[in-house]
Amino acid sequence: MIIFLSTVVMQMIISCCDCPELTKFQYKFEYATVFNLDNSGATSVISESPISKNAYGIKLQLGLRQLSSQGRKHFSLFNQAYAMCCFCGPDTVISLRDTITSLKITTINSFDNNHPKGSDVTDLFRVLKYNTYITIDSVIAQPAIYYKRTETDFLEMYLFTPPSQPGEYSFQVDIALSNNTHMLASTKSIELK
C-alpha cells in the first residue's frame, strides 16, 4: 500500500508541471573561420578596409555538426490540465563531443620588436564577457553549454596591445581539441593604421 501511495504522489508531482520534454543534442567541431573585426564603432563589424590599430579584433567562427539527439518523455497517470505554475529547466541541452584545450594566436607578419614573424601573441588579445575583458585562457577553461540548437559559435577577441607601427598584419588561430586534433584558420591581411 505504501509503495502504491508513493507512486501516486510521485505521479501527481510530475503531472503538476507542464514542462516541455528535454532534448539532448551532441555536436562536434567541424571547422574554424576567422575574420578581421573593426571595433571603432558602437558595435564590432567584420571589415577588410584599413582598421585603427587601437580598434582591431578577430572574430572566430566555429562550425558545429550535430552527431546525435535524444529526447526524454515522462509517463503520467494524471492529466496535465491541472498543472500548477512551477520551474521548468531548459528544454534543450547541447553538449560537445570534444572540448577546446587551447587556443593560440600567432602573428604571420612581424608584429613588433618583441614579436617577430611566427610569435605567439595570444596574451595581447582579450575577450569581452559580462562587461569585463578577460584572457583567452580564461574563456577556454569554461566549457560551453548551449540551450538552443546551433550550427555555429562565435568568439570575438580584441587586440589590447596594438603594434607600435602601422602596417599590414595577419594572424593564424590554432585551436587544439581534446581528441588531439587541431583546427587552423588565418585572417586575411589587413592594414592597421
How confident is the model at residue 121, as a pLDDT? 96
Closest CA to 53 of 156, 158, 171, 155: 158
Please state, for a pLDDT cut of 90, what percent of the chain lies above it: 40
pLDDT band at 3 (very low <50, low <70, confident <90, very high): low
Lowest mean pLDDT across 90-99, 116-125, 130-139, 176-185: 90-99
- Indicate if the pLDDT at residue 98 is higher than 60: yes
- Over range 7-26, report the average pLDDT: 59
pLDDT band at 57 (very low <50, low <70, confident <90, very high): very high
- Domain positions in the chain: 2-192
- Over range 5-16, report the average pLDDT: 53
Q: Residues 150-159: pLDDT tens digits?
A: 566 788 999 9
- Over range 25-42, report the average pLDDT: 87
The span from the CA of 64 to the CA of 155, in Å, is 14
pTM equals 0.72
Top-confidence residue, 89 or 168: 168
The span from the CA of 75 to the CA of 82, in Å, is 16
